[in-house]
Amino acid sequence: MPDTQDLLATLRVVALPMVTRFRGIEVREAALLEGPEGWTEFAPFPEYGDEEAARWLAAAIEFGWEAVPEPVRASVPVNATVPALAADRVPEVLARFPGCRTAKVKVAEPGSSLADDVARVRAVRDALGPEGRVRIDANAVWNVDEAEHALRALAPADLEYVEQPCGTVDELVRLQQRIRDLRIPVAADESIRRSADPLAAAAAVDVVVLKAAPIGGIRKALAFARLAGRAAVVSSALDTSVGLAMGAHLAGALPRLPHDCGLGTGALLRADVTEDRLLPESGAIPVRRVVPSPALLDRFAADAERTAWWADRVRRCAALLP
């Protein structure tokens, strides 16, 4: 493991504008580090505490300082991601994801009604056609009653699955009992990676969502997927192309990949740290590393105050690692 001085020696902090507001974010900040294996990314959201963010740093260190597992596929099929925006904007969003046959639609966002969600999901279904796959993500906003009501309204869109409709494992179990007649699979993200017993959380759902950085690295994610014994889908956290490369290597190393992955989110960024971006082409992204452009690192560099904030965060999180 590198010491803190090694980590900070190559630290570059960027602030990248988003195409549209997503997850309440209009500018995505990320800290980039260069290790002996290549560039890596540390970008937990600002509101995350140090204990949770330390797992993101462990993942960044693994990707930059250790060789990646051997991939079993050269490219990864990805889904389009549709923010919580007006239904009439769906076509312009999907156009940024050429060839994608699957779309993940954000629902239950603050300021967005169930009627808005239904209209947005219907617009996605109409755009993809009957052969397309539509999944939704509620980010644990609903309680059980709200989730059942919403899913009955959204079920006509023929959902592939619903991701994190409720916050707790108990709520997810009770919800599944109520919606058995709908036959909508349930996926878990937050209730797995933030759980004291993630395997128990995985056992309660049909699909597990794996994110390399929040889980603590590619190897931990692969080990968890093996133990969980559930269908897995790899997703991102609004990463730059450097962070997406970490997710692509995780997806590339999974023995089974039954679902398209949420690794096309580079299309939600108006700018990136490389000219050779990891963007969807023919519905997929390649499994490869990314080298940032010095000019783009300079152009989108965060100001001195934010850079110092991220450097201090690296120090604090590094102190929590074994």
Which residues are annotated as part of the binding site for Mg(2+)? 137, 163, 189
Bin 303: left if φ > 0, else alpha if -120 < ψ < 50, else beta: beta
Q: Which of 55, 104, 106, 120 is catalytic?
A: 106
Contact status, residue 262 vs residue 278, Cβ threshold 8 Å: no
The annotation places the binding site at: 137, 163, 189
104 in catalytic set:
no
211 in catalytic set:
yes
Contact status, residue 163 vs residue 189, Cβ threshold 8 Å: yes
Which residues lie below 8 Å from residue 12, measured CB to CB, with a gap of 6+? Answer: 31, 32, 33, 292, 297, 301
Bin 34: left if φ > 0, else alpha if -120 < ψ < 50, else beta: beta
**H or E element: which one contains 19?**
strand 12-22
Q: Which of 28, 120, 193, 211 is catalytic?
A: 211
Q: What Å distances lie between residue 280 and 71, 74, 129, 161, 276, CA to CA? A: 19, 14, 19, 22, 12
- Exposure string for 141-152, b = 16+ CB within 10 A, e = fewer: bbbbebbbebbe
Amino acid identity, position 238? L
- Residues serving a catalytic function are 106, 211
